[in-house]
Structure 1
């Protein structure tokens, strides 16, 4: 397995990068967040995952070994292929995925294009014993009012990750009033 690649970015595709390693150019599919940061000519280090199937041989690259690990975990879920797994990692951070799994929030995962409610529930059921809360602050099930705040923020154009981070920033002792909690979440973006 090719676990690590370091080389110069030769080409920026819509969903991939071409990385020059010696005299070889490797096409590496990457999350859109990494693709947006990459610049032609710069040297890049990617932690890679090689997918080999009867009809496919593709290399997927990530900024951290943890992202690569989660890609592998997502591939282990029945019905989740490499394209959908990379889409999930393009929209949600590893911490957001972990929170959604540990808090049993399929609605967070189902906001990723291509992930329906059933797939989101499958991901949660499949990965619940494999994901830990280590390093996550105060993982707790999201209250219904906070779910409404999350939906309001995403409808205003914030990404799921941004909205979830804003909801997590609401003080624990804040009133459970929707309007007040939404104001507090919006304050997060003004700081």
Structure 2
């Protein structure tokens, strides 16, 4: 089991990174709530990982904190939730926001996530309520989604910001139509890829 990696961040393309650990490049997928807490390429960083072995692939999922990884592991134990859906859920809201939804039976927010229909949301609330009851959450409303990237920070917009945003949303399970509509709705000329993705996600949740 690979549980933790520390090395130099070589590449970032949401939701994937390439991390150089002692000369070995590890490809890792992260939920966006973790992805946008990473430093710039060339910097050293540490991530906590969950290793999945399938017949056709070996996959690494990464997280900034043990708490996020722990919630991911609880999610994939739920009936009908695999690693991809768990990654999508934790890209659409923070770990604390998800726990808040479960403990407050907030199905209406959960069903706005791609891949989470009403039955899945109801099942998540039922199955995970007891598992998460001791996590402890604040009463912060779940309306403040994805505020990890500083809204006041200025980033020079890359030429491919819109394409990067569309690619990230498609990778998380949103349809081409959903992603295109959300990006078009929120995009501004001064937005970076990170800001555009976050704003698009906020508009859909």
Q: Which has the larger radius of gyration?
A: 1
Displacement after TM superposition at 1:55 (Å): 2.6
Q: Is the 8 A contact 2:10 2:19 kept in 1?
A: yes
1:79 partner SS: coil
| Partner Cα distance (2:46, 2:14) in 1 | 19
Q: Deviations over 1:134-153 (max 9, x none)?
A: 432359xxxxxx9xxx8xx7
| Partner Cα distance (1:30, 1:137) in 2 | 25
| Match of residue 101 from structure 1 | 102
| Match of residue 5 from structure 1 | 5
| Partner Cα distance (1:87, 1:137) in 2 | 23
Question: What is the TM-score with the length of structure 1 in the denominator?
Answer: 0.69
Instruction: Let me know the Cα RMSD of the aligned residues.
Output: 2.1
Q: Is the 8 A contact 2:33 2:94 kept in 1?
A: no
Q: Is the 8 A contact 1:70 1:94 kept in 2?
A: yes
| Partner Cα distance (1:134, 1:68) in 2 | 14
Q: Deviations over 1:62-83 (max 9, x none)?
A: 0110100010111111111111
| Match of residue 82 from structure 1 | 83
Whether 2:34 is the aligned partner of 1:34: answer yes
Q: Deviations over 1:136-185 (max 9, x none)?
A: 2359xxxxxx9xxx8xx7xxxxx6467xxxxxxxxxxxxxxxxxxxxxxx
1:72 partner SS: helix
Poorly superposed stretches of 4+, deviation over 6 Å: none
| Partner Cα distance (1:36, 1:131) in 2 | 25
Q: Is the 8 A contact 1:102 1:133 kept in 2?
A: no
2:36 partner SS: helix
Q: Which runs of 5+ in 1 are unaligned?
A: 140-145, 154-158, 163-191
More divergent stretch after superposition (15-24 vs 50-59): 50-59
Q: Is the 8 A contact 2:71 2:95 kept in 1?
A: yes
| Partner Cα distance (2:15, 2:146) in 1 | 20
Count of aligned residue pairs for this structure pair: 146
Whether 2:50 is the aligned partner of 1:44: answer no
Question: What is the TM-score with the length of structure 2 in the denominator?
Answer: 0.65
Taking a change above 3 Å as real, the CA distance of residues 160 and 33 of structure 1, as seen in their structure-2 partners, is closer
| Match of residue 185 from structure 1 | none
2:75 partner SS: helix
Query: 1 or 2 for the larger relative contact order (CA 8 Å, sep ≥6)?
Result: 2
1:76 partner SS: coil
1:129 partner SS: helix
